[in-house]
Structure 1
Amino acid sequence: MSVGNESDVITIPNMLVLGAAVMLEDLPYALRLLISATFKGFNEGPFLTKTVGELMWGYHSKLVEFLNRYLPGMLPSSGKFGLFAEFNNSNTGLFTIHTGRDDIRNVHKVDSWNGRTELSYWRTPQCNMINGTAGQMWPPFMTKESTLPFYSPDACRSLELVYQRPGEMNGIPLYRYVAPKTMFANGTDYAPNEGFCPCRQSGLLNVSSCRHNSPVFISHPHFFNADPVLLDYVLGLHPTEEEHGLFIDIHPVSACSHPHLEVTSFSESSRWYRSS
């Protein structure tokens, strides 16, 4: 929905080089010197000029090939390098979840993710909890006091949406649930989030601990619900709830979201099922 197309050419900080530099900090000096020389040998500098399509969906990099050959496992990408290169046909892991057969209040509630009942990315037990569902459906008969907790592998943590207002679509009544302002608040502004630190300004979630220690942060589009000082760093940002807010519309009786979602390999005769 942005202005422009994927053939536009832009210059951005070279995330591959800057991220690799951070990850190499703890390696022996001789190896860091070798990698630094490799950057120069491949003409990889602090900035990168590519088309939008290449940056989004991936481009061939001799540096990526080198790192995967001599430092296997260092990079999450084994082929092309791009912001969304690994997201098409992506595998978010194996969810083991309740069917709700014994208790409808547990329908789709996550029991484990990739065999884990808790995470190890964060600093407190509360932040490492795997709460709620897998984000595709929730227990039925929702009220305005209900919330929508779910575990997000992309965010490496559990998230929770809260009721905002009623609505309607094609004659079907809906409840709108939105991300609270505290979702990505730092530990200073919202104490329970201290376990997700080291933090920067509110509105930025530091996910480096689950991204190979690469300096990666998550935010809402245009830094919506974030510290206003962040808007001073980028020209052209104008966050509004209508365009940049996170929300889900739910039918309160069936707890189905719009549009409809598909579940695979469902078996009502079993207590558990796998969803992909």
Structure 2
Amino acid sequence: MPSTGCLNVRIDPSSLSFDMWKQIPVPFYLSVYFFHVLNPNEVLQGGKPQVQERGPYVYREFRHKSNITFNDNDTVSFLEYRSFQFQPHKSRGLESDYIVIPNILVMSAAMMMEDRPMSLKLMMTLAFTTLGERAFMNRTVGEIMWGYEDPLMNLINKYFPNMFPFKGKFGLFAELNNSNSGLFTVFTGVKDFSRIHLVDKWNGLSKVSFWHSDQCNMINGTAGQMWAPFMSPESSLEFYSPEACRSMKLVYKEAALFEGIPTYRFVAPSTLFANGSVYPPNEGFCPCRESGIQNVSTCRFSAPLFLSHPHFYNADPVLAEAVAGLHPNPEEHALFLDIHPVTGIPMNCSVKLQLSLYMKAVRGIGQTGSIQPVVLPLLWFGESGAMEGKTLQSFYSQLVLLPKVLHYAQYVLLALGCVLLLVPIVYQIRSQEKCYLFWSGSKKGSKDKEATQAYSETLMTSAPKGTVLHEARL
């Protein structure tokens, strides 16, 4: 029979954590940093790219689950919607700031045409020239994030209707705002507690088809919000990320405290984005380039996009050396999740990822100039959330304060029990001492009693004749 703690964390309307699962009370923030290209003309002539990090541009992230449906096989299906609201007071800049970055549409289209006949490339060059398209663009933060009108997009959608999923504006985060991350079906833990929060299917699939091995296509772990309780340092955190089109596994690093609440910190292993030659299980994510970056072109409309840690942290050093202005370090660019091990609920998290574009000159397409092959960072973003306010106070009371009170209460009760046991023992000992003293006192006065008794007997005996009795006076 499951314990009370198990009943409280399972996905069931009667459990204490159900409302928290339905709408996570932790405020989430999306912080975006752009790599502003300082020398685009030099890059076109074959020079080394020089970038300047701009930001953060911070957005409050709102999440809520809908279409919650409980199934017969101990699972529940749901859609989680997200929306973003710009936070000027937390940001270093405004959405109206202009940023120079590679023109993703132009460079992606050029790379797709690399092995096509020269006649098609020349036609594309002419189309780019007519539409005023260049290898680099100067757009506002808001346009890059949430979309902008582009005549090239309209042209591509007209002649290649299935090439891009975008039908209107093109933006790197346009798909995320006011939308869901797919239909998740996870185990509730009501019938089988050992499978609680694990993903059964995503969009009706038990595995994806983006990659080249069954292991890489597997949908493992949870939906990335809560994990099974009763963790140990041998546990790992595994979750499926629709944005990365893959499952990720974090490993235990250390025990810590968050606002007085005990936590386990989990971090990304150095092999998370390693290439197949460094870490053979990742061979299925290839074709690979340098270790530390993952090719996501197969799930991102065939654009030569790469996922990594910010500033190429934990990647082959040649990647950061190829671009001036990058400074990878673990304090700023490593990701982590702090989990309360007893409940499996995140207390504090910061997931950081970078999106880069592979660029090079494509013979026959004039807009690419003499660009030397380079993986150029576009931006990096961090999704962070920390429990605070009344929710944190409630957690502290239930997870720290109450257990401490109960812990010390058992010693107080034990001491009280010992006192109550000692009272009758002491009373019994005291009673025995009184009896002993009485008996001892009686023994000491025996000679006096004998004398008194003899005197009394003489009084009671008749006096001999001729004896004069004297009157006793007080």
Q: For this structure pair, what is the TM-score category when the shorter chain's length is used for normalisation?
A: 0.7 to 0.9
Mapped partners of 2:226, 2:319: distance in 1: 34
- Structure 2 SS opposite 1:186: coil
Is 1:83 the equivalent of 2:172? yes
Matched, 1:256 2:339: no
Letter in 2 for 1:61: D
1:269 is aligned to none
Q: In structure 2, how many angstroms separate the alpha carbons of the residues matched to 1:109 and 1:250? A: 16
Determine helix, strand or coil for the equivalent of 2:129.
helix
Match for residue 104 of structure 1? 193
Distance 2:254 2:333 in 1: 17
Residues in 1 aligned to 2:191 and 2:117: alpha-carbon distance in whole angstroms = 55
Instruction: Give ranges in structure 1 of 5+ residues lacking alignment.
Output: 261-276
* Larger deviation, residues 156-165 vs 76-85: 76-85
In our comparison, the structure showing a higher alpha carbon Rg is: 2
Q: Which residue of 2 is the match for residue 267 of structure 1? A: none
2:153 matches 1:67: no
Q: Does 1:119 align with 2:208?
A: yes
Q: 2: CA distance between counterparts of 1:52 and 1:147?
A: 36
1:183 to 255, 272, 282: 272
Match of 1:165 among 231, 254, 268: 254
- 1:202 maps onto 2:285 in alignment: no
Change (3 A) 1:200 1:117: same
Q: 1:46 is matched with which residue?
A: 135
Task: Tell me by how many angstroms 1:117 deviates.
Answer: 0.9
Q: Deviations over 1:161-204 (max 9, x none)?
A: 00001111122111110000000001111111111111111110
Task: For 1:113, give the aligned amino acid.
Answer: W
**Quick one: distance in 2 between partners of 1:33 and 1:73?**
23
Change (3 A) 1:43 1:131: same
Deviation for aligned residue 1:63:
1.3
After superposition, the Cα gap between the structure-2 partners of 1:112 and 1:15, relative to the gap in structure 1 and judged at 3 Å, is same
Give the 3-state SS of the residue equivalent to 2:172 in structure 1.
coil
Q: Which runs of 5+ in 2 are unaligned?
A: 1-54, 57-91, 348-385, 388-474
Question: Which is worse superposed, 72-81 or 185-194?
Answer: 72-81
Q: Secondary structure at the match of 1:94?
A: strand
Structure (1/2) with the larger helix percentage: 2
Identity percentage of aligned residues: 58
Distance 1:215 1:155 in 2: 14
Distance 1:244 1:129 in 2: 27
1:129 equivalent in structure 2 = 218
8 Å Cα contact 1:224-1:245 kept in structure 2: yes
What is the alpha-carbon distance in structure 1 between the residues aligned to residue 110 and residue 212 of structure 2? 24
> Aligned AA for 2:334?
G
Match for residue 139 of structure 1 among 228, 237, 243? 228
Structure 2 residue aligned with 1:95:
184
2:331 to 242, 247, 261: 242
Which amino acid letter does the alignment assign opposite residue 17 of structure 1? V
Tell me the equivalent position of 1:270. Answer: none
Instruction: Note closer, same or farther for the CA distance 1:232–1:174 as it changes in structure 2 (3 Å cut).
Output: same
Residue in structure 2 matched with residue 264 of structure 1 by the alignment: none
- The more displaced of 162-171 and 60-69 is 60-69
Aligned pair count?
260
Give the Cα–Cα distance (whole angstroms) in 1 for the partners of residues 122 and 320 of structure 2: 37
Deviation digits for residues 141-169 of structure 1 (CA, Å, limit 9, x no counterpart): 00000000111111111100000011111
1:26 Cα deviation from its structure 2 partner = 7.0
Structure 1 match to 2:108: 19
Alignment-mate amino acid for residue 52 of structure 1:
V
Give the Cα–Cα distance (whole angstroms) in 2 for the partners of residues 237 and 24 of structure 1: 30
Say what the alpha-carbon RMSD is for the aligned residues. Answer: 2.0
- Once the two structures are superposed, residues 24-57 of structure 1 have per-residue CA deviations (whole angstroms, 9 ceiling, x without a partner) of 4577877665544322211112221222332222
Q: Distance in 1 between matches of 2:153 and 2:194?
A: 47
Note closer, same or farther for the CA distance 1:53–1:135 as it changes in structure 2 (3 Å cut).
same
1:79 maps to amino acid: G
- Compare 21-30 and 80-89 and name the one that shifted more: 21-30
Q: Secondary structure at the match of 2:180?
A: coil
- Whose strand fraction is larger, Structure 1's or Structure 2's? 2
CA deviations over 1:220-254 (Å, ceiling 9, x no partner): 11111111111112222222222111111100000
8 Å contact kept, 1:96–1:111: yes
Q: Which one is further off, 43-52 or 113-122?
A: 43-52
